[in-house]
Amino acid sequence: MYVKNHMLSKDKLIMLQGEENISSALDKITKGDFLSLPVLDGEKFIGILMKEKIFRHYFEEGYTDKEKYLNETKVKDLCRTSNLKTIKENDFIENASYLLNEFRIPFLPVLNDKGVFRGILTHSSIFNAFSEIFGLNEGTRIVINVFDIPGQIAKLTETIRKANVNIANFAVMDAKVMDVYKVVLRVDTKEVDGLIEKIEKAGFKVSEVNK
C-alpha cells in the first residue's frame, strides 16, 4: 500500500504561508479546531506550526502587548523547521508508520519525486490504512499459531484453499514466543467450524476466532 493512496491531498488542506502573521494563523487553527498546520513558502513546504507553540512563545518571551504579538510575529518565526521528516508519495505506508511514531510529529509532509509538496499523512490515515490491511469488520477473524518451520505458511494456505474458502486478509506477527508466529486471517465463509476443524486436523493450533 502506498502513501499516495491514504494521504490528505494538498487541495483539501488548510495551509499557512511563512509570511502570514500569527493572528491570521491562529484564526485558521481555531476555526478548524486544528493542533497544527503545514507551513509553505509559496509552493514549498518549510515547516509545521503548532498551536501550543503560539501560546508558549508568548508567555516564555514575556510579551505584554497581545495585539502587537499577534500582528507583528510571522508564522515563519515560530514554525518548526528542524528535525522534520518527509515521505514520498510512492513510499510504502509501513515506512510512514515508523516515521510518525519515531519522531513524534503530528503528520508527515508528503512530497513527489521532484520534492514538490503534495499533501500530508496523519496518524488517522495510518490507522485507516492498517484497518484496511487487516480487513477489520470483514469476514471472520481467525488467529493461528504457526511454528517457524519452512513450508508451514504454504501448508496452511493450501489447507484453506482445499476447503474452498477465500482469504480476504492475511498477516503474520511475532508471537513473542520462541519459534512461534501468529497468523491472523480474515476469511469469507459460513462454514467456520468446518474450516477450523480442517486447519487443526492439518496440525495447526487455532487460538482465536471472532465472527
The boundaries of every CATH 3.10.580.10 domain in the chain are: 3-131
CATH superfamily of 135-210: ACT domain (3.30.70.260)
The CA dihedral of 9, 10, 13, 16, to the nearest 10 degrees, is 150
The boundaries of every CATH 3.30.70.260 domain in the chain are: 135-210
The CATH number that domain 3-131 falls under is: 3.10.580.10
pLDDT tens digit string along 126-183?
A: 877 776 666 666 688 899 999 989 999 999 999 999 999 998 888 888 767 778 889 9
Q: Which three cell numbers stand for residue 46?
A: 518549510
DSSP state letters, 72-139: HSBHHHHSB-TT---EETTSBHHHHHHHHHHHT-SEEEEE-TT--EEEEEEHHHHHHHHHHHHTTTSS
pLDDT tens digit string along 58-94?
A: 999 999 999 999 999 999 999 998 878 899 999 988 7
